[in-house]
Structure formats: structure tokens, C-alpha cells
Chains A and B, each alone.
Chain A
Amino acid sequence: MDITINKKMVNKSEKEQDFTPVFKINNLNLWYGQDHALKDIKFDIPEKQVTAIIGPSGCGKSTFIKTLNRMVEMVPIVRMSGEIVYRDKNIFQPKYGVEELRTQVGMVFQKPNPFPKSIYENVAYGPRIHGIKNKKVLDEVVEKSLRGAAIWDEVKDRLNENAYGLSGGQQQRLCIARCLAIEPDVILMDEPTSALDPISTLKVEELVQELKKDYSIVIVTHNMQQAARISDRTAFFLNGEVVEYTDTSTLFSNPSDKRTEDYITGRFG
């Protein structure tokens, strides 16, 4: 008897890469002094999708995400080789403007870090330093950004109050709104919900799903279920290497590498 294989179920990962990349990472290596923190990283990040980076502490995931907007260069002992191509340009080229890059590639951090200013000013700050002076235009940007970050209804009557008066979850969404105000192309999120309560976490996750319609999102998360819930593709980092990078459904249902399996099923160590 012939054993028939149900073709549509087999090797989903074989049909990888049917997307437009926003970032192409080629043989990226990074050292902190002698410490080889990223090793030959090579993969493409899709446009208008959510890409999750998972892996144990110290595997290089935060370092990696900070290379995408060149924030990692703020660490003095960093050395890098290889290239990161953002929209057809290598961001490591000497003439590449880092301000321009960070306007296009916004970032949201682990702990909400609003400015010690009013809610309104937090959002208006970016557009203002980009030259928008017209109050009416600023008002519009602020409202649009706050709506985009799903926090408008909660703050519209208290825009002039200090941002520190908001809850942690609201502060984080305010930071997302601040990021949206300069109309970036990509949003990097470094553990954006690890300091939030479960409901605020789910709100941010919902928001990420909304945002991917307009933005490409890269999210570092310790929460594997979060990666499974919200991302389209997932990269598993281990000891500075990418062990497996594939569509999230495959990675969480049938990973091809034993190390990925051990990590996501919690059998690590």
C-alpha cells in the first residue's frame, strides 16, 4: 500500500521567504571587547509583519535588536562586522545618517520611559524637534498617535497632566504613541510588556496586531506564549547564533532543531 503524504501539511517551512524584507542582515558579527556576542547572523525581516526574537538571557537578542537602529554603538567597546541593509542601504556605511535611521526605526523599551512632561508634550516632542510648529497640526499628530496606540480614550481629558500619573500599561502605550508620532517605518520593541500586568500586556499585544497593518515590528520577548500569540515569524537565538528562524506556526508546533524544541517546551538546561 502506498503511504500518501498529505502534501499541504508537510514542510511548511520550505515555502519560506515569500515576503518583502525591510531589513536584510548579512553575516553580522558583534563583539563586546573579547566577547563574541552575535555570530554570523543572517536573515531577513519582513515588512508589515511582526517578527519575534526569543531566546534565553544573554543569547544576544537585545544586542541584536539594538543593532537595527545602531543604538548598540553607544556601548564604547563594541566592534561589528557584516552588514544590515535597511531598505536597500547598508546602515553601517560611514555616510549613513544615524538620526535619519532612528527616525525611520523607532524603539520602545522594557520599562516605560515617558519624559517628565505632560501627556501631550510627550507625544508632541518628536514632531516638534522635526520642525512642526503649527499647534493645529501638532494637535492632530498627538491625537492620531494616541489613537494609534489605543490610549486616546483613556487620556483625552487629561492631556496636560504629567505622564508619570499614568499606570505602567498606559505609560507604555504612551511611549508607543510617542514612537508613532514621528511616523516611523519600523518599530523595535525590547520586552515591551515585561514590566506590565497581564491585562496591560494583552492590550499592548492587541495594539501590536493593529500596528502591523502600517508598520514592520520587531519584538524581543522572554514570554514565549507572547511570541506565539502575536508574531508572524520567530527567530530563536542561542549563544549569539540564530538556531532557527521560520514562521511562528511552524516554530511552535514542529520546530526542526532539537535546541528550539527543548527551549520552547521548557526542557532547557
Chain B
Amino acid sequence: MVVRENFQLQLEEMKQSIVQISKLAEEALELSVEALKNQDLDKALQIIENDNRINVLEDEINDMAILLIAKQAPVASDLRRIIAAIKISSDIERMADFAVNIAKSTIRIGKQELIKPLEELPKMAHHAIHMLTTATKAYVEEDVALAKQLAELDDFVDETYGKIIKELLELMTKNPEHLSQISQLLFVCRYIERTADHATNIAESIIFLVKGKRYGLND
């Protein structure tokens, strides 16, 4: 006999919603990098418009969690699962906000010629997006080992971040007339670095969910 079948189904539904919000955030981030690279302002506007879907979905996940806590009095791993869902959805929503921020920077840069072709920055962005994909996979499979790998992936992002920032600052002193564009690129760089940090937050939530213990992966 499966006891609490209905509750189990609702937990599963919540999990699927997390997968869904993660896919949407991934898409938004991918699009934002594309838009930046190709200076595609229409695409950038599209990302800003689409963000509302992600915000709504986060609210829905929170509502589900609140109702499950109120009605099912969850304990132990059930409770951790719900708390993790609240935290993870909030991390993902924040990541999607960074996609919006990147889109806004893209719009600010506009059609003016880029000071140099973007190579490292999109690479770093794809790496951060890959981290979100990995985090989601680790969440679905409750794979602690995979979650822990995110700490290493984040190290790579942090290194690249330092390199790009240095390069951009140099460009800034040499080309003060491009100050505005370079500062937007600095912002974008920061958004991507923060995106990766949220992926490691997700990894921490996964470990908490599975093990009931806290690990700091962002230190």
C-alpha cells in the first residue's frame, strides 16, 4: 500500500515546476547572451517581456509549498524537500532576473560598434548556464556528487570573471570615449558571475535536501 499517495503526487508536481522554471531561466539566459553578442535589441526586449512568466511560476511554487506545509504537516525529508523547492525557485528566479539585466545592458549598448568582439564573456555565460543545467539535473536525480561538482565549476567562472574584469578596466583607461559601453560590459560580467553563484546555492539546497546537513559551496 502506498501511504500518502496524494501528497507524494503533489511533491512530484512541485518538482516538475522547478524543472520548468529552470528551463525558462536557461532559455532566458541563452537568449540574453545571444542578444548581447549580436546586438539584437528585439530579442533583448523579448527577454524582458518573458520574465513575467518566470516570476509567476515562482509565486506558484511558493503557493504550492505554503499549502503543502499548512495541509500536510511535513517533517524530515518531506519538509526539507519543500524548503529546498522554495529556496531553489528563488535562486532560479534571481538568475532569470540577471538575464533581464543583461538584456537591459544590451539595449543600453544599442547598435554602437563593440569595442572588441565578445569571446570570453559568452564563454563564461555558457559555462554559468551549464551550471544551471547541471544543478537542475542534480536536483531531479538528488545527486549529491553532481551537486558538489558545481563548486568546481564555479571556480572556473570566478577565474574568468577576474580576467575579463581586468581586461575591461584596461580597455577603459585606453578608450575613455567608450566608457559607457565598457561599464555596461562590466555589469554584464558581474551578472554572469552572480548567476553562477546562484547555481552553487542550488547545489547547497540539494545537499541539504538529501543529507539534512549544510555545506558551504560558495566560500
The reply to whether B75 and A3 form a contact with Cβ atoms under 8 Å apart is: no
Q: CA–CA, A124 to B213, complex, Å?
A: 52
The reply to whether B3 and A266 form a contact with Cβ atoms under 8 Å apart is: yes
Task: Tell me whether A4 and B212 are in contact in the complex, defined as CB-CB below 8 angstroms, given that A228-B75, A253-B75, A264-B75 are known contacts.
Answer: no
The reply to whether B76 and A254 form a contact with Cβ atoms under 8 Å apart is: yes
Interface string of A1-26 (1 = CB under 8 A from B): 11111100111000000000000000
Interface, chain B (partner A; CB < 8 A): 1, 3-4, 7, 73-80, 148, 151-152, 155, 212-217, 219
The reply to whether B76 and A264 form a contact with Cβ atoms under 8 Å apart is: yes
Q: CA–CA, A220 to B192, complex, Å?
A: 54
Task: Tell me whether A261 and B215 are in contact in the complex, defined as CB-CB below 8 angstroms, given that A1-B155, A3-B148, A3-B151 are known contacts.
Answer: no
The reply to whether B213 and A265 form a contact with Cβ atoms under 8 Å apart is: no
Q: CA–CA, A182 to B63, complex, Å?
A: 51
Interface, chain A (partner B; CB < 8 A): 1-6, 9-11, 224-225, 228, 252-255, 261, 264-269
Chain A min CB distance to B6 (Å) = 11
Chain A min CB distance to B31 (Å) = 31
The reply to whether B216 and A6 form a contact with Cβ atoms under 8 Å apart is: yes
The reply to whether A4 and B215 form a contact with Cβ atoms under 8 Å apart is: yes
Partner of A9, one of B78, B79, B151, B213: B213
Q: CA–CA, A133 to B39, complex, Å?
A: 97
The reply to whether A10 and B78 form a contact with Cβ atoms under 8 Å apart is: no
The reply to whether B76 and A269 form a contact with Cβ atoms under 8 Å apart is: no
- How many contacts A-B (CB < 8 Å)? 58
Q: CA–CA, A11 to B213, complex, Å?
A: 8
Q: A-B pairs with the 7 shortest C-beta distances?
A: A254-B212, A6-B214, A9-B214, A252-B75, A4-B216, A266-B4, A265-B78
List residues of chain B with CB within 8 A of the CB of A266: 3-4, 7
Q: Which residue of A lies closest to B72 (CB)?
A: A266
The reply to whether B75 and A224 form a contact with Cβ atoms under 8 Å apart is: yes
The reply to whether B74 and A265 form a contact with Cβ atoms under 8 Å apart is: yes
Chain A min CB distance to B82 (Å) = 12
Chain B min CB distance to A221 (Å) = 14
A-B contact pairs, 10 of them (CB 8 A): A3-B215, A4-B219, A5-B214, A5-B216, A9-B213, A10-B213, A254-B76, A266-B3, A266-B4, A268-B3
Q: Which residue of B lies closest to A268 (CB)?
A: B3
List residues of chain B with CB within 8 A of the CB of A11: 213
List residues of chain B with CB within 8 A of the CB of A225: 73
The reply to whether A253 and B3 form a contact with Cβ atoms under 8 Å apart is: no
Q: CA–CA, A19 to B42, complex, Å?
A: 67
Q: CA–CA, A261 to B79, complex, Å?
A: 11
Q: CA–CA, A138 to B1, complex, Å?
A: 56
Partner of A6, one of B4, B77, B215: B215
List residues of chain B with CB within 8 A of the CB of A253: 75-76, 79-80, 212
List residues of chain B with CB within 8 A of the CB of A261: 76-77
Chain A min CB distance to B158 (Å) = 10
Chain A min CB distance to B11 (Å) = 11
The reply to whether A5 and B213 form a contact with Cβ atoms under 8 Å apart is: yes
Q: CA–CA, A162 to B80, complex, Å?
A: 50
Q: Which residue of A lies closest to B81 (CB)?
A: A265
